[in-house]
Structure 1
Amino acid sequence: MTAPRRLALGAAALYLVTWVTSVAAVPLYGGSAFDAGAGLAGRGSVLTAGLLEVVLALAVVGTALALYPLLSPHGPGAALGYAVLRTLEATVILAGVVAILPAVARPASTAPPALDPGVVAGLHLVHDWTFLVGPGLVNPVNAVVLAVLLLRRRLVPRFVPLLGIVGAVLVAAMNIGVMFGVTTPRPALAVPLFAWEICLASVLALRGIPTADGGEARRPERSARAIGPFLRGAGG
């Protein structure tokens, strides 16, 4: 198996990790500060959710690392932009994790942190805002950057990037509405963006990213060899 093929499979696997961890973490945190009467779940549940979000952030960056050497021959600016935006998204996710964990635990201790309820509510609110800004606003932007590149260069079937663009617009519009208090989160609007990543991962797993001459990606061979071991370790 060539290094570019391994990178495409690695990216597909990392997209799968992002779906599982992001979906699993949400209910483990308990209620959301979007609901004024909701509170956090128990210590173990919140710590597990935080750990899942750390894995999520690493997988988010991993998808960018895997795709960069495959996409850069087709559009180095867009490939770099996608990598930077995915890293920014992961950074915001980790900021939210760091904010919420003090509400339920201290490092190296099973004793409760005994924080004032108002402080706990504030930390919870910070986490909810990071979730809105990172996956809610930054992610749609990086999805559009990637989808436009794939569409312009015809690297995947046309419906895949179109689905990504439509899904990104819907999610971004919903979250801007939530930000300004004119609407509430509507999970159904995230379905097209979720479907875009499923379709993209399926294409990566089945056929990878072609080169400008129509073959399997080969030009970024050196970069692929450099990042391939990391992906094998992440997938293992």
Structure 2
Amino acid sequence: MGAWFLGTFVFSIPAFVFYDPVLTDAGYVLGSGQDARVAVGALLEILLAISGIATAVVIFPIAKRVSEAVALGYVAARTVESLLILVGVVSLMALVGLRQEVAAGGGDGGAAGEVARGLLAVRDQTELLGPQFCAGLGNGILLGYLMWRSRLLPRPLVLVGLVGGPLALVAGIGVLLGAWDDTSGLPVALTAPEAAWELLLSLWLVVRGFRPSSVLTGLPAAPSRAG
């Protein structure tokens, strides 16, 4: 289980490195391009999307013992996040295809530049609506609630997610409404606790796993005795 959560980190961060040529070069569609490098980034994000859905699927049988409705909400949030990630992948690979068409002399360079900017804008919005909003809601709030109620993880650790999730949503709402740029210091700082929660959660599950709990066995907790 922990390996799937860790996979969301292992695959996401390198993807940005491989995507760098297309994300930072406004004239990529008119240049010689580094299409193989971008394709590797796309592959990593496909694996990221698979890992994201898997995290919800593997934890659902346990999480539903706490609240089936919230557990289903978590599955839905992770699924939507992964689908939006894949939309971003499609937009960048479409840009690569457009560059190859222009290079082969089959397209107008000026029009291709405008289309490329549109495809990059689509990619930017998928990042905002997917990993920003869905991760804040799903991993931060919903999964945080499930872990808090179940006591499967130390509560100080879970608290990072319960605080980080709403802050990530605030950061995303601010970007959506134009209050600040997505690369400015404030949204980055607001998103940092959510990123820390996801990393700490991944490492904890890989190294330690869940704590003993009646939730794991499906048996009701033993009643406490006074005195």
Using the size of structure 1 for normalisation, the TM-score is 0.76
C-alpha separation in 2, matches of 1:209 and 1:113: 55
| Structure 1 residue aligned with 2:224 | none
Q: Which has the larger radius of gyration?
A: 2
Report how far residue 176 of structure 1 moved. 1.6
C-alpha spacing 1:100/1:193, structure 2 compared with 1 (3 Å): same
What amino acid sits opposite 1:164 in the alignment? G
Report how far residue 61 of structure 1 moved. 0.5
1:82-231 superposed matches below 5 A: 82-105=74-97, 112-114=100-102, 116-143=112-139, 144-184=141-181, 185=183, 186=185, 187-205=188-206, 206-208=208-210, 210-212=212-214, 217-219=216-218
**3-state SS, counterpart of residue 74 of structure 1:** coil
C-alpha separation in 2, matches of 1:179 and 1:42: 31
Using the size of structure 2 for normalisation, the TM-score is 0.79
C-alpha separation in 2, matches of 1:71 and 1:127: 32
Does the 8 Å contact 1:92/1:133 carry over to 2? Answer: yes
Report how far residue 162 of structure 1 moved. 1.1
Report how far residue 128 of structure 1 moved. 1.0
C-alpha spacing 1:179/1:96, structure 2 compared with 1 (3 Å): same
| Structure 2 residue aligned with 1:66 | 58
Report how far residue 189 of structure 1 moved. 3.4
RMSD over equivalenced CA pairs, Å: 2.5
| Structure 2 residue aligned with 1:232 | none
Report how far residue 27 of structure 1 moved. 3.0
Structure 1 position 30 matched with structure 2 position 29: no
Does the 8 Å contact 2:151/2:211 carry over to 1? Answer: no
Q: Normalized per residue, which structure has more helix? A: 2
Unaligned runs of 5+ in 1: 1-10, 221-236
| Structure 1 residue aligned with 2:225 | none
Spell out, residue by residue over 1:42-93, the C-alpha distance to the aligned partner (whole angstroms, 9 max, x if none): 3222211111110100000011111111212222121111111111111111
Does the 8 Å contact 1:104/1:112 carry over to 2? Answer: yes
Deviation larger for 201-210 or 52-61: 201-210
C-alpha spacing 1:39/1:175, structure 2 compared with 1 (3 Å): farther
How many pairs align?
201
Report how far residue 112 of structure 1 moved. 0.6
Report how far residue 39 of structure 1 moved. 5.6
Does the 8 Å contact 2:65/2:218 carry over to 1? Answer: yes
Spell out, residue by residue over 1:149-184, the C-alpha distance to the aligned partner (whole angstroms, 9 max, x if none): 211232211112210022112222122212222212
Identity %: 32
Q: Give every structure 1 segment of 4 or more consecutive aligned residues whose post-TM-superposition deviation is greater than 4 Å.
A: 37-41
